[in-house]
Amino acid sequence: MKGLAVYEVAYRIKHQNCPYRELSAKQPNAKIWQWCNSKVDFFEIRGEGSLQVARDLRRVIRQVKKKIKLETFAKKEGVVVVGSVTCPCYFLLERANSPIIPFQIDRYHCASIGPMVYEDGWEYHRIAAPHSVELKGLLETLDQMGEMDVLLKKQHRGDFAQNTYTLSIAELFRTLTEKQRRALVNALENGYYTIPRRTTVGKLAGAEGIPRTTLEEHLHKAETKVLRSLSPYLRVFDPT
Regarding whether 149 and 31 lie in a shared domain, the answer is: yes
122: in domain: yes
Note whether 13 and 113 are same-domain residues.
yes
Q: Which of 52-66, 162-176, 213-227 has the lowest mean pLDDT?
A: 162-176
Residues belonging to the chain: 240
Average pLDDT over the chain, rounded to an integer? 82
Which of 124, 159, 194 represents a domain boundary (last residue)? 159
Decide if 40 is inside a domain. Answer: yes
Query: Does one domain contain both 190 and 218?
Result: yes
Question: What dihedral do alpha carbons 87, 90, 94, 99 form, nearest 10°?
Answer: 120
Q: Are 61 and 30 within 8 A, CB to CB?
A: no
Q: 136 with 60, same domain?
A: yes
**pLDDT tens, residue by residue, 36-72:** 876 778 888 888 888 888 888 888 877 766 666 777 7
Is the residue at 120 inside a domain? yes
Average pLDDT over residues 188-215: 95
CATH number of the domain to which 230 belongs: 1.10.10
Check whether residue 109 and residue 148 sit in a common domain: yes
Q: Does residue 13 sit in the same domain as residue 53?
A: yes
For residue range 80-139, list pLDDT tens digits in order. Answer: 777 776 666 655 655 555 556 777 888 899 988 888 899 999 999 999 998 889 999 999
Predicted structure pTM score = 0.68
Has residue 164 been placed in a domain? no
Number of domains in the chain: 2
- Angle of CA points 139, 142, 148, to nearest 5°: 90
Given 102, 128, 159, the domain boundary residue is 159
Residues 33 and 148 both lie in one domain: yes
Domain of residue 221 covers 169-236
Are both 155 and 173 inside the same structural domain?
Answer: no
Say yes or no: 11 and 38 in one domain. Answer: yes
Mark whether 47 and 111 lie in a shared domain.
yes
Among 138, 159, 180, identify where a domain stops. Answer: 159
The answer to whether residue 130 sits within a structural domain is yes
Query: Do 98 and 68 share a structural domain?
Result: yes
Q: 152 and 182: one domain?
A: no
Query: In which band, very low, low, confident or very high, does the pLDDT at 156 lie, cut at 50, 70 and 90?
Result: confident
